[in-house]
Amino acid sequence: MGDSLAVLLRLSMQSLVSHKVKSLIVGLIMLFGTFLLVTGASIIDGLERSMAKSIVSSLAGHLQLYDAKAQDELALFGSFALGQEDIGELKDFSQVKAAISEVDNVKDIVPMGISLTSTSAIGEVDQVLRQMREALREGDKARLKSLVPNARRVLEVLASEQEKLQAIQVGQRAQDNEARQILNKVRSDAFWQGFEADPQAGLEFLDTQVAPLAPEGRLFYLRLLGTDLDLYAKSFDRFKIATGQAVPPGKRGLLLSQRIYERVLKHRLAREFDEVHLAVTERDLSIAQSKLLQDRVRRMVRLYTQVELQLSAPDAASLRQKLAGHLGQDQEAELSALLQQFLKVDDQNVRERYAFFYDQIAPMIELYPVRVGDVITLRSFSRTGYIKAVNVKIYGTFNFEGLESSDLAGATSLTDMITFRRLYGQFTKEQAKEMEDLRERVGVEDVDRDNAEDALFGSDSTLEESDEDGKSGFDEFAGLDLKRQAAQAEAETFTQEEIERGLALNAAVLLEDPDDLDATAAAIRQKLADKGLDIKVVDWQEASGAVGQFIVVVRLVLYTAIAIIFLVALVIINNSMLMATMERVGEIGTMRAIGAQRSFVLWMFLIETVVLGLLSGGAGALVGAGFVAWLGKVGIPATADALVVLFAGPRLYPQVDPWHLLVAVLMIVVVSLGSTMYPAFIATRVQPIEAMRNKE
C-alpha cells in the first residue's frame, strides 16, 4: 500500500509539472476561491463580533425579555412600522428580577421601556426674554440695556407676523384686538422708557402678556428609553457622560443623546455649517461639484437673520467690525450684508470661515435653544390614547464610546423609570385610591345616557357669563403658587424599590460569560415558566430588529457570491480536467496495457487534484491571511452611518482565525474533487488498445 501511494504521488507530481498550463489555470482558480473564502469569512465574523460589541454594550444587553403575548416583535432600534411597536408589558419588574436573579451567569437585569415623545425648543422671543431675565437676576444693568434693541427687533418681527396673519383672517376676534393692543404697546418708545425705570415690571409684562402671543419654538421628537439610570450606567460600559452630569440617584431627570443635541437641537445655521465643513474636510467632497452642498450654502445665506436677531447692540457692532475686517469690506457696511457675504462659502474659504464662525460668532448667539439645566416639557400619547405631559430637567448629554458619529446609536435619549411611567400613563394603585377619594369628596355620580342632558343642562344648572370685555370671572391660575410647585418638583425623590416595583416594557439581561448565552437563555426560560411568568426571551440580535438581521443578510449575500464563484470554478476545473484526460489517452492506455487497474487510474487523478488543491488552497489561504492581517492594522473605514454600529466604531479591524484557513482549504479540495470525478471516471474507461492506436 505504501509503495502504491508513493508511485501515485510521484505520477501526480510529474503530471502536474508536465501539464503546466492546465495546472496553472486550475491552481489560480483554487487560489482565488480559497483567498475569497478566508477573507470573506474573516470580515463577516469580524462584523458579527463588532456588532455584538456595540449593541450589547450600549442598549440591548446579551438577552432581552418582554411579554410573550405582545402584538409586535421587540425592535430596540425601531422597525419599519410607522407607529410605536406594541410589545406588551411586564406588570411588575420586581417579580421578573427575583426570578432571573436565581439563574447562574446572570450579571445584571435592567428595566426598560421605550417611548416616542415630543417637546419644543424655545423661540426667538423666549430666547431674548430669557437673556433679559438672566441679566436682571445677575444685576447686570449694562447687559440688560444692551439687550433692549435686540428685543425690540424681535418683537417688531412678531408684530409684523401678527398683522399679516390678521389681514388674511375673515373676521376680527376680541383676542386679535387685544393682541394688537399689547404689541402696539411694546413697540412704543413710552413702554421702553418705563422698562428702563422699572425693568422688573416691564419684564413681567413681556413674560405674561407678550410671550404667550409668540409661536412655540421648533417642535422636535425624542425616542426615549426609560430605565434605572444608575444601573444602566454601571451595566453598559460604552455609556459615557459627554456634558453636564449624571442624573442624581433617586431624582427624575433627562439625559439627551449628544448626537441628538448636535444634529437636531443645535442652531440651524450651525448645523448646516457643520455639514458643509464635514463634507469638504472629511468626505473630500467639493462644493463646486455637489448640488447638495450648493443647496446647503444657499440655505445658510438665508439663515443670516437667525444670527442677527440674537445679537445685542454691542455684539452686533463688534461683529460688524470683525466681519468687515475678515472680508476686507468697508467698516460702515450693513451687518446683514456682511453676514450674507460671509455665509456664501466655497471650497477655498470654507475652513477659515468655519473657524471664524465658532471663534467669533458662536459665543454671541444661543447655539442650543435647550440647554443643560433647563426644564422642558415632554409630551407623549399614553396607552389609553390621551396626551401626557411631564416636566423634566436636563442634567446632561451622553454618547456611546466609539459610536459618537453614528445617528443610529445616538437616536435614543435616556430618562428615569418614574418619568417614563408617567408618560406611559400607568395608573398605580395609589393613583386609583386618590381618584376614588376625589370622586367621593366632590360627589361624582354616574349618569346614564338617557339622563345625561338633564344632568348636565337641567334647570338647576347655571352658566357663568362673561363681562363686557369678554373676560370671564374665572381665573384658572387663582391660588396657584408656581414657585412652590417648582420647589416640590425639584425636591421630588423616589427609592430603588419604587423603580423595581412597577411597570417595565422590557428588560435587558447582561451575562458574566457571553459564550454561555444559549444555555443561560434556556435556563432563564425554564425559571420564568416555573414562576408562571409568560415572558419571551430573545438574544441581542433578534431584539435589535432589522439592524440585528443585517449581518444575516450580509452573510447570505457573501456566501451566495462564493457559491456562484465555486460553481463557476467547478465547471472550469471539470472542463480543464476533461481536456487533459483527452490529451492523456495514450498515456493512460499504456498504463492500462502494462497492468494498471482502473482503480489505480482513478486514484491517480484524484490524488493529482488533492495535491494541486492543497498547494493552491494553502497558498490562497496564506495570501488571504496576510490580506486580513493587513486589514486588521489599517482597518476598513465606515463610509455610512449604519456601518459605524456594525463596525463598533469608525473602522472595522478583522482578525484571522486558524479555523477559517482550515475550512477554506478543505472546501476548495472538496469542490475540486467533485469537479474531477467525471474526468477521472472517463479516464478509467480508456482501454489499452487506445495506446496502440495513438502510437500508430
Q: So what's the pLDDT on residue 183?
A: 84
d(CA 235, CA 240): 12
Helix (H, G, I), strand (E, B) or coil at 412: strand
Q: So what's the pLDDT on residue 110?
A: 94
Confidence at 305, pLDDT banded by 50, 70, 90: confident
Cell numbers given for 55: 449593541
Q: 28 or 297: whose pLDDT is higher?
A: 297
Q: Is the pLDDT of residue 103 over 80?
A: yes
Mean pLDDT of the chain: 81
Q: So what's the pLDDT on residue 468?
A: 47
d(CA 585, CA 188): 111
What DSSP letter does each residue of 586-631 carry, written as one string?
HHHHHHHHTT--HHHHHHHHHHHHHHHHHHHHHHHHHHHHHHHHHH
User: How many CA atoms lie within 13 Å of 313's alpha carbon, on the beta-carbon side?
Assistant: 11
DSSP state of 244: E
Q: So what's the pLDDT on residue 674?
A: 78
Q: Is the pLDDT of residue 359 over 80?
A: yes
Cell numbers given for 648: 463598533
The region of weakest confidence among 30-34, 614-618, 628-632, 684-688 is 684-688
The stretch 20-27 carries a mean pLDDT of 76
Q: 695 or 517: whose pLDDT is higher?
A: 517
Q: So what's the pLDDT on residue 269?
A: 93
Is residue 680 within 8 Å of residue 605, measured between CB atoms?
yes
Residue % of the chain over a pLDDT of 70: 79
Q: Please tell me the pTM assigned to this model.
A: 0.74
Q: So what's the pLDDT on residue 472?
A: 47
DSSP state of 83: S
Cell numbers given for 230: 444608575
Confidence at 696, pLDDT banded by 50, 70, 90: very low
Strand pairing category for 387-400 and 254-257: parallel
Work out the burial of residue 475: count CB atoms within 10 Å of its CB; fewer than 13 is exposed, 13-18 middle, 19 or more buried. Answer: exposed
What DSSP letter does each residue of 515-581 carry, written as one string?
GGHHHHHHHHHHHHHHTT--EEEEEHHHHTTHHHHHHHHHHHHHHHHHHHHHHHHHHHHHHHHHHHH
Report CA-CA distances (Å) from 636 to 140, 657, 683: 54, 18, 48
Q: So what's the pLDDT on residue 680?
A: 66
Tell me which range, 83-97, 166-180, 639-653, is most confidently predicted by mean pLDDT. 83-97
Confidence at 168, pLDDT banded by 50, 70, 90: low
SS3 content of the chain, % helix, strand, coil (to 5): 60, 10, 30
Q: So what's the pLDDT on residue 591?
A: 67
One-letter amino acid of 57: S
Is residue 300 within 8 Å of residue 306, measured between CB atoms?
no
Over its C-alpha atoms, the chain yields an Rg (Å, rounded) of 37
Among residues 136, 132, 121, 138, the alpha carbon closest in space to that of 155 is found at: 132
Is residue 314 within 8 Å of residue 146, measured between CB atoms?
yes
d(CA 280, CA 349): 11
What phi-psi label fits residue 88: left (phi over 0), alpha (psi between -120 and 50 degrees) or beta?
A: left
One-letter amino acid of 686: V
What digits encode the pLDDT tens for the residues 485-535?
555 556 678 889 999 988 999 999 999 998 899 999 999 999 999 999 999
Q: 418 or 477: whose pLDDT is higher?
A: 418
Q: Is the pLDDT of residue 221 over 80?
A: yes
Work out the burial of residue 184: count CB atoms within 10 Å of its CB; fewer than 13 is exposed, 13-18 middle, 19 or more buried. Answer: exposed
One-letter amino acid of 93: F
Q: So what's the pLDDT on residue 339?
A: 93
Q: Is the pLDDT of residue 89 over 80?
A: yes
Cell numbers given for 586: 495514450
Among residues 109, 48, 87, 63, the alpha carbon closest in space to that of 542 is found at: 63
Q: Which residues contact 505 (CB under 8 A, 6 or more apart)?
A: 66, 87, 88, 89, 90, 112, 113, 114, 424
Q: So what's the pLDDT on residue 419?
A: 93
d(CA 194, CA 671): 93
The region of weakest confidence among 212-226, 255-269, 666-680 is 666-680
Cell numbers given for 114: 421605550
d(CA 302, CA 344): 10
Q: Is the pLDDT of residue 284 over 70?
A: yes
